[in-house]
Structure 1
C-alpha cells in the first residue's frame, strides 16, 4: 500500500504541477493581454470621442477645451493639423511623443489606430484618430498614456502569481505524504477541477471534504480559487460596462446639442446656448468618471458635498428643458408639477447627476407616446420629489435590491439597453449624503415611482 501510495503521490505531483503551470501561464498571459487590450481600446475610444467633438467644431475654443479636459486625466492629448502642425497639447511633449508626431500618416481608418503598444520598452502607449470634415482629413487627435502604471500592475500581478504558485506547490508536496487509497477518488476529482480551471471555466464546483487535514484544506482552497477567479472575471466585465453606461448619457447630450448647433437657421444666441450646455456636460463627465471609479473600487465611500440654497423649481425646470429633446426624440412626454416656490440645500452638480440617472432609467423602460412625470410635494418638514413612469415596472422580488451596487433586474435586457446597476446605487449614495432618503415603489407592467425625501431649508 505504501508503494502504491508513493507511486500515486508522485504521479499526482507531476500531473498537478503540469496543470498548475499551464493554468497559471494561460491565466497570467490572458489577464495581461486582456488588460493591455482594454487600456488600448479605452485610449482609442477616448481619442475618438475627442475627434467626434472636433469634427463638429474644429476651432480654437473647442481645441483648447479638449486639451484642457486632459490636463486632469492620466492621459495626454495632442491635436495637430493634417500637415503635422501642433494645435494644442495637454502636457509637455516628450521625445517619444515628438517622434510619433513626426511619422507620416497616409491612411488611418475612421475608428482610429494604435501607433504604439510596446508597453514593456516605451514610456507611453498611444493611438491616433483622424479628424475628417467634408470627406477630407484636416487633422489628427493623438492620445498618450504613461506605461508606468501598466508596468506596476504587471509587476504586482507577477508577485501574486509567484506567491500563489509557491503556495500551490507547497500544498501539493505536503499532500503527497498523506496519500492513501481512501483519498484517491477525491484527488481525481480535484484533478478534473483544475483541468476545468486551466480551460477558463471558473464556475466549476468541488464537493467539500470536511476533514481538517491538508487534503481538506486543499479542497477548500481550490473551491475558493474557482470562486475568486469567477468573481474577478465578472467584476472586470461589470466595471467596464458600468463606465460605458454612466458616460453614455452626457455624451448623448453633447452630440445632440452639437447637432442642433450646426443646423442651418440656428441663431447665434441659440448656438451659444447649445455650446454652453456642451461645455457643461463635458466638464461634468470629468467629475463623473472620478465618481464611478470610486464607486467601483471601494465598498464604502463618501461624496464631497458643497451645499447651497437652491430654488428647486428653477433647478428642475432647467433640468427638464435640457432633457426634453431626448424624450421628444422617443415620443415620450416629460412633465413637471410643483405647487409653490421651494428652497432646498443641495449640491446642484450632484443632484443633476441624480435626476439624469433617474430620468435615463425612465426613458429606457418607457414606450413611445407614454408619459414621465416629475412631481414635487411637501409638508412642514420635508420635500418629496417623485419621478414617475408608466413603463415596464419592477418585479416585487427585485424591488428591495434595486439600489444595491451592480444589481440588475434583468441582466440580459439591461445589458442590451446599457444598464449596469450603478445608476440607482449612485442616486442612493448622493441622496443619503444630503441627509435624504430615496425609496421605490413599482407595479409590474404599470410603471415605477422613485421618491426622494429631503429636509426643507
Structure 2
C-alpha cells in the first residue's frame, strides 16, 4: 500500500513533468525557430549585399571578388545570368545546387526569396536574389551547408535533455522531502486515530500552528481528551452505580434474613421490613433517575414547549413538597410576580423544580428557610432561583457538582438519601430547553441555583 507521502510526491512530480515538458518543448521549438530564422536572414542579407554590389559595378573583377570572398566563408555563392547560366561561383556547383537553381520560381521579389529551408533533410539552405543594373541582369544564389546547423541543434537537444533530466531529479528529491515533511503530521494523526480505535486514549499530538493541519491535529487531540474523560466518567459512573446498588441490596439481604428468623417479635420484624421498604424505595428512585438520564442521552424523551404561567405551576409544586418540608420543620417561601410566562414543557419544568427542592430538603437542617424566586432578568428570558440555608458546597467541588453520581461528603449524602443524579437531570433538562444553570454556594451557609430559560 502506497503511503500518502509517496502518492503526493508522484502526483506533484507528474504535474511538474507535464508542465516542464510543455515548457521545454515550447522553449526548444522557439530556440530552433529563432536560430534557423537567423541563418535564413543571414544568407539572404549576404545575397542582397552582393546584389547591391553587382548593380553598382557589374564587372568581371566584381564577379571574381564576390566568388573569392565567399570561398573563405561557410557559405557559397553562385551568380547566374537571366537564363540561369552560371557565370561565377565560390565553389564547385553540385547537382543538388543545380536543381535548386533550375527549380525556383522565375519571379523573385526585391528582398530576395528563400528557396530551400529544410535543414533537417537537405544538405543546403538556399536563397535567391535578383540583380538588374540596366545592362545586365541575373540571379545571386546563396547556399549554406546545413551540417553545422544540425550539429548545433543536436547539441542543443542534448543540453535540453540533460537539463530536463537533472531538473526532474532535483524536483523529485525536493518533492519527496517536502511530501514527507507535509505528510508526517498526517501520519501521526493516522497513528493517533488507530490508537483511539484500539481504546488507547493517551494520545499526544504536537502543535502544528493555525493552518488546516493544525486545526485537524487540535480536533483529534480534543477528541482523544474527550474520549479519555468519557472513559473515566463511564468507569467512575459504573463504579458509583454498583456502589449505590450494593449498599441498599446488602441492607435488604441482611434484614430479610433477620426478618425471616423464628422467634423474633413482631415489632422487630416490622422494623426490619420498614428498613427493607426504605432501601427498596431508594433502589427504585435510583433506577428511575438512571432511566431518565438514559432517555435524555438517547433523545427518546420529548420536550413539548408551550406558553405557561409560572406562578400557578410553582404554587402547585410547593403544595406537593409542602408536607415533606413541614415534617422537617423547614419553611418554603415562594416569591413570584402575578403574571410571568415561560415557553417550556410544564411536566419537565415541574420535574426540574421538584429536583431542586428535593436537594434543598435533603441537604438542609431543620428550622431553615428555602426560597423560590421568579424574575425576568432580561427580555425574552425567565429566571427561577432556588436558595436554601443548607450545608453548602466547598468552592473546589462546584465545578463537579453537575456530574452524574457526584456527591459532596459521600457519608452525609448517603444518610440523607442522595444519589448524585438530581442536579445532572436538572442540567440536562434545562439545556434541552435551550437554557442554562448557574450555582453559587458557601460551605455552611447554603446554596443558590438559578435556571435561566
Superposed pair shares fold, TM > 0.5: no
Question: Of the two, which has the highest radius of gyration?
Answer: 2
Bin of the TM-score, shorter chain as denominator length: 0.3 to 0.5
What TM-score does the superposition give when structure 2 sets the normalisation length?
Answer: 0.38
